[in-house]
Amino acid sequence: MVELDHISDIIYLALPLTTETSNMINARFLANCKSTVTIINTSRGGIVNEQDLYDFLLAHPQAKYYADVRSDEPLITSSIQRLMTLDNFLLTPHMAALTTQAMQSMHHFALE
C-alpha cells in the first residue's frame, strides 16, 4: 500500500476484505493521518477497526469518517452506537445493493 496517509486530505476505501486488508485502518495507520483527514468507506466494514476509529475521531474532532458499511452488518453493535454519538461520523444504510444491476441480480438468483 502506498504510504500517503500522512499527507492525504481524503482517503477513499474501495477494496475487498481480505486477510491483508482486515483492520488495515487501525490505530497505527490513523496515528499517521492528518488530524483533519476525511475517510470514506464504501467497501467493507472489517477494513476499519471501529474502536481505533472511535478513539481517533474523539481525539480529532475535525477529522471525519463517512461509511456505507460496518463490521457487523446488519447488527447495530455497541461500537457503532458509540461512533454514532460523534458529530464527525456519518453512517448511511448499505446503499450499494440498491443499484438497478444489484436488484436484477438478486431477483435472478431468487428465481433459481
Class in CATH terms, 10-111: alpha beta
The reply to whether 60 belongs to the active site is no
* Residue of 94, 107, 108, 112 marked active site: 94
pTM for this model (two decimals):
0.77
Considering 6, 28, 44, 60, which one is annotated as catalytic? Answer: 44
- Taking only the tens place, the pLDDT of each residue in 27-68 is 999 999 999 999 999 888 899 999 999 999 999 999 999 998
Nearest residue to 36 via CA among 15, 56, 14, 51 = 56
Which of 28, 60, 73, 112 is an active site residue?
73
62: which residues sit within 8 A by CB, 6+ positions away?
35, 36, 88
pLDDT tens digits for range 81-109: 899 899 999 888 766 666 677 667 666 55
The answer to whether residue 20 is catalytic is no
28 is catalytic: no
